């Protein structure tokens, strides 16, 4: 049995509406959001690079500012049990190398049938350096993408940070819709990496701007 997402008002309001704003204001010089998307009133599947503990907070902030959906995220079963509050702010569990992984993946698809929902996933499945040149998607993403019925808005997110001449970093959030009609992981992975490297190149150029 997986742990399914709940949304307790007190936890959800505090952690989702208040905490991300306060945390980012305290630790970042500014946040720049570059979004090439349109509102389609569909459920959103958000695929993001995974570079740090900060990622979930950044995505909470993005959802609050731009996407405005009911927030859901997949989390390792052992981490869910250590951080029980996560199920009350939209977290649900996945146990790798077990039969229940299919239940977690199908639950993701169930969440993506409701228009007000957002589900974010880290397709690489683990934290990796900000400087990796290529994002390799895990197999579970393939299962989800193949079974999407087309009435889901799939978005790519790339999060980057740079300090330049400031004492605090600036967070750069690049958002783009995956518009390919094929929801196959191989094609999505290729398109994501094209976008990913384009974002890195754009950030490099900012120092000369």
In the chain, the number of structural domains is 1
CB 168 within 8 A of CB 27: yes
Full domain range(s) for residue 175? 9-208
Q: Is residue 4 part of a domain?
A: no
Grouping H, G, I as helix, E, B as strand and the rest as coil, residue 130 is coil
Ordered strands of the 91-94 beta sheet: 30-36, 170-177, 153-162, 44-48, 117-121, 70-76, 91-94
Which pLDDT tens digits describe the chain residue by residue (209 residues)? 898 888 887 766 676 778 889 999 999 999 999 998 999 999 999 999 999 989 999 999 999 999 999 999 998 888 888 877 787 888 899 988 788 899 999 999 999 999 999 999 999 988 999 999 999 999 888 889 888 877 899 999 999 999 999 999 999 999 999 987 677 778 999 999 999 999 999 998 876 65
Angstrom distances, CA of residue 39 to CA of 32, 42, 43, 191: 19, 8, 10, 21
Residue 1 domain flag: no
**Residue 87 CB neighbours (<10 A):** 20
Q: Is residue 179 included in any domain, yes or no? A: yes
Please list, residue by residue across 51-79, b when 16 or more beta carbons sit within 10 angstroms of its beta carbon and e when fewer do: beebbbbbbbbbbeeebebbbbbbbebee
| Residue 202, strand partner residues | none
- Distances in Å between the alpha carbon of 125 and those of 28, 64, 90, 136, 164? 26, 24, 18, 9, 29
Q: Does residue 98 belong to any structural domain of this protein?
A: yes
Q: In whole angstroms, what is the distance from residue 161 CA to residue 30 CA?
A: 10
Q: 154: which 2 tokens?
A: 């799939």
Q: State the pLDDT at residue 190.
A: 95
Can you give the pLDDT at residue 83?
A: 79
Whether the CB-CB separation of 87 and 4 falls below 8 Å is answered with yes
Q: What is the pLDDT of residue 194?
A: 97
Answer whether residue 3 is part of any domain. Answer: no
Please state, in angstroms and rounded to a whole number, the distance separating the CA atoms of residues 134 and 176. Answer: 17
Is 140 a domain residue? yes
Distance CA 58, CA 91 (A): 15
Helix (H) or strand (E) run with residue 55 in it: helix 55-62
């Amino acid at each position: 049995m997986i742990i399914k997402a709940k949304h307790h008002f007190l936890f959800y309001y505090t952690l989702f509406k208040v905490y991300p704003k306060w945390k980012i204001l305290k630790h970042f010089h500014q946040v720049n959001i570059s979004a090439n998307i349109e509102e389609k009133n569909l459920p959103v599947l958000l695929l993001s690079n995974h570079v740090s503990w900060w990622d979930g907070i950044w995505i909470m902030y993005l959802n609050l500012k731009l996407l405005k959906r009911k927030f859901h995220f997949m989390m390792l079963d052992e981490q869910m049990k250590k951080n029980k509050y996560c199920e009350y702010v939209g977290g649900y569990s996945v146990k790798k190398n077990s039969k229940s992984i299919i239940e977690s993946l199908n639950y993701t698809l169930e969440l993506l049938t409701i228009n007000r929902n957002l589900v974010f996933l880290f397709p690489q499945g683990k934290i990796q350096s900000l400087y990796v040149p290529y994002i390799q998607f895990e197999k579970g993403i393939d299962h989800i993408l193949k079974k999407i019925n087309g009435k889901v808005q799939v978005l790519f997110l790339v999060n980057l940070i740079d300090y330049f001449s400031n004492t605090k970093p600036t967070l750069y959030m690049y958002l783009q819709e995956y518009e390919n009609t094929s929801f196959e992981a191989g094609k999505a992975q290729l398109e994501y990496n094209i976008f990913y490297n384009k974002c890195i190149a754009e950030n490099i150029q900012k120092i000369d701007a």
